[in-house]
Structure 1
Amino acid sequence: MTKIILIVFLSVMTCTYSEARDEGEDPVLPPLHLNCTQSLTEFLLLRQETHLNRMVSAEEATTKLLKQTLETLVQVRETLNEVNAKMGGHIDTKPDGAVCQPPFTRVGERCLLLALQEQHTWASARQFCAGYGADLAHFSEANAFAALLDYVNTINFQKKNINVWVGGTDEAVEDTWLWVTGELMPRGPPFWGTYDGYALQPNAGTSQNCAVLWKADYYYMHDLPCTHKCAPLCQK
């Protein structure tokens, strides 16, 4: 702005002095000549037009940049969705219309989460699942159990020697095995395994009151002390 004022002042003085010399008058504050005024007006209009053109160009560049950024973000979102789906973290819908939100995965009619990296007592495992609005897994028929075993073996594809807690216990009444829902647990094959190939589980009496999927027995159920550290299998 200071430069514009200076240019205007110098232009005015130049035009004034020039006219004064031509007419032989005193050059101190003579009236402005029409041509000088017109030249200054045209100069200012030209400068304003240039400024506006620059603003328009900058706005167009900004709009183009925002459009390119939006397109890039859309591509990133689509790529992340594809990667998430391949990793099993996509959102699944259960048959009843309920949604399995990550990190849960739909298995049959249930949403399951096996946290292999976690090691908890049975009670602590329930608290871990509760943090996700869930509880330890339970099942009542062979097909659901088979689907659960398939899920566990898929997650533990590295075949780590990790046992997995499920939501069964006989702590309240010895040898009356109940799910955390209060329902009776199924007994015998194909749910419970055997110890050394002959001793049918559960068989340890009052010393082992919590149900676990036992890795050494192909993840069939065994009874263990509830203070053991195992991975929680959560269900919604």
Structure 2
Amino acid sequence: MMKFIGEAMNETMKRNFSECPPFFTPFGDTHKCISLFTPIKVSWFEARMFCESMTGNLAILDDINTYIQLLKYIEEKVCNCVNSKINKQCEDNERKLMPRFTGDAETCLSILEENFYYFSDEWCTVKLSPLCMTNKI
């Protein structure tokens, strides 16, 4: 976990702080910044609090263009680490993303690798990695 935080801070230091808050990266062609915390596994409720503590919210995918940008982000940022000898922890088959709550009280919207990154309903108590989004500074 500490290694992940150190790497995230190093990556953040390379960028202009006027663009995104720490731990976030620019997202597509929008005014948004995004952060996927893959080493952390929390419930939807904990993920919401976690994102808020990082000056963001759970990601909102309100149109197809945002969803396509998210898939590109996953391909570039998450899937590339599978090929890295340094980041073997990224090969975890349980890598799951969890954006915004939707539907009934007992289900939450998730994006799962095993479902080819299509949306799926999961119990809100299932432990998944939070996908946070915030506005550029």
Q: What's the TM-score once normalised by structure 2's chain length?
A: 0.72
Aligned to 1:164: 97
Secondary structure in 1 aligned to 2:55? coil
Report if aligned partners of 1:92, 1:105 keep a CA contact under 8 Å in 2.
Answer: no
Aligned to 1:223: 121
Name the structure with the higher strand share: 2
Report if aligned partners of 1:91, 1:102 keep a CA contact under 8 Å in 2.
Answer: no
Alpha-carbon distance in structure 2 between the residues aligned to 1:119 and 1:133:
19
Alpha-carbon distance in structure 1 between the residues aligned to 2:14 and 2:61:
24
Name the structure with the higher helix share: 1
Displaced runs of 4 or more, over 6 A = none
RCO comparison, higher one (Cα < 8 Å, 6+): 2
Structure 2, unmatched stretches of 5+, are: 1-9, 83-90
Alpha-carbon distance in structure 2 between the residues aligned to 1:154 and 1:88:
16
For the pair 1:103 / 2:23, whether they are aligned, the reply is yes
Relative to structure 1, is the Cα distance of residues 89 and 219 closer, same or farther in structure 2, using a 3 angstrom cutoff? farther
Aligned to 1:211: 109
Among all aligned residue pairs of Structure 1 and Structure 2, give the percentage whose two residues are the same amino acid: 29
For the pair 1:145 / 2:67, whether they are aligned, the reply is yes
Report if aligned partners of 1:89, 1:104 keep a CA contact under 8 Å in 2.
Answer: no
Work out which of the two has the higher radius of gyration on C-alpha atoms and give 1 or 2.
Answer: 1
Cα shift at 1:101 = 2.2
Aligned residues: 112
Alpha-carbon distance in structure 1 between the residues aligned to 2:74 and 2:97:
9
Relative to structure 1, is the Cα distance of residues 167 and 129 closer, same or farther in structure 2, using a 3 angstrom cutoff? same
Aligned-CA RMSD value: 2.1
1:49-198 map, 5 Å: 84=10, 87=11, 90-91=14-15, 99-108=19-28, 109=30, 110-157=32-79, 158=82, 159-161=91-93, 162-171=95-104
